[in-house]
A = this chain, B = another copy of it.
Amino acid sequence: MNVMMNETTRTARSGLAEELRISVARLSRRLRAQVGSDLSVTQFSALAVLERHGEMTPSELAEHEHVKPPSMTRTVAALEAARLVARRPHATDRRQVVLAVTEPGRALLGEHRRRKEAWLAMRLAELTEEERAALERAVPILERLSRS
């Protein structure tokens, strides 16, 4: 259409923020609907983060997930009730609590990952290799957008 602009040289179009916002919101809603698991997306995300980062306090976890501490309290309570996360007292500060993924939690994590990837993986498989490569490049950028 426009010979002066191509994909690699144009700057951010004014619509990019809006398009990204809407497509992310929609895909998120779609994904949530596909979770055929006994763990919610929020719980799974918290559990996965805890596994990746090792031991964390509830506040650290809340900050990482960009959620307020009371919300994380509820998420952690659910995970703890399911024996997927264990809490132990902090070594020196008795106000704090240290969370860690239990062995059953780790096992369930792998199992759930495989199950819950099914829907998305099926759809990813329908894409061309170039499209998947484009998503691979986008994922770390999306991660960075939600930090900062």
Contacts and interface: CB of A to CB of B under 8 A. Distances in A.
Interface residues of A, number: 61
A47 to B, nearest CB: 11
A137 B139 contact: no
Interface stretch (A75-83, A89-97, A116-124): A116-124
Given A132-B11, A134-B138, A135-B141, A146 B30 contact: yes
A40 to B, nearest CB: 10
Contacts of A14: 117
Contacts of A30: 66, 145-146
Q: Interface centre among A11, A30, A48, A67, by most B CB within 10 Å?
A: A30
Q: Identify the 3 closest CB pairs spanning chains A and B, nearest first.
A: A138-B138, A28-B28, A17-B117
9 contacts: A7-B136, A8-B133, A16-B124, A17-B120, A21-B41, A27-B28, A27-B145, A29-B146, A131-B141
Interface of A: 7-14, 16-33, 41-42, 45, 48, 65-67, 113, 116-117, 120-121, 123-127, 129-139, 141-146, 148
